[in-house]
Structure 1
């Protein structure tokens, strides 16, 4: 088909802020994991699907299958829904205290 652009699993966008390789980044409703370091405004490749170990609020607890949200102020995953954006589901449990959660990115809103 003539109008197909790409699968959308990896998107190149202007970095919304400085981001390190492997770090989460959100621009509007697009969330992904940076494939490389980028300064704010520079091009960054975001991986929008897959399973990643990402930093979380240490006191938050996740059961397998629990919704995972992105806190764009703290730049951490959280279980808090208010003011945050749902980005995926936990695929392994993560307790309090722990620094990461294994999350499958939705790739959709």
Structure 2
């Protein structure tokens, strides 16, 4: 195909804020996990598909298959949909308190 560009699993985008490797990155409707550190405005490679252990609101509880949302202010996974971006689903049961959850990124919306 002449118009094929890339698989889209890894994207290089300007960092919307300073990010560290393994941290969540949201730019518009794109969400991914940074594969390296980057200052705000610098190019950063983000992975948009796969399973990642991401920091979460410690009091939130997730059942396997539960929707996971990104709180871009707190830079945490949350179970609260209002005002947040759906990014994937939990692939494990996680209780309160806990600091992270394994999330399968949606990669699409």
- What TM-score comes out, normalization by structure 1 length? 0.99
Q: Report the Cα distance in structure 2 between the residues aligned to 1:10 and 1:93, rounded to whole angstroms.
A: 28
RMSD: 0.3
Residue 73 in structure 1 maps to residue 73 in structure 2:
yes
Match of 1:17 in 2: 17
List gaps (5 residues or longer) in structure 1.
none
- 1:18-52, CA deviations, whole angstroms, 9 ceiling, x for partnerless residues? 00000001000000000000000000000000000
Following TM superposition, the consecutive aligned residue runs of length 4 or more in structure 1 with deviations greater than 3 angstroms are none
Q: Report the Cα distance in structure 2 between the residues aligned to 1:25 and 1:13, rounded to whole angstroms.
A: 10
Q: Give 1:1-109 correspondences, 5 Å limit.
A: 1-109=1-109
Query: How many equivalent residue pairs?
Result: 109
Q: Report the Cα distance in structure 1 between the residues aligned to 2:51 and 2:91, rounded to whole angstroms.
A: 8
- What TM-score comes out, normalization by structure 2 length? 0.99
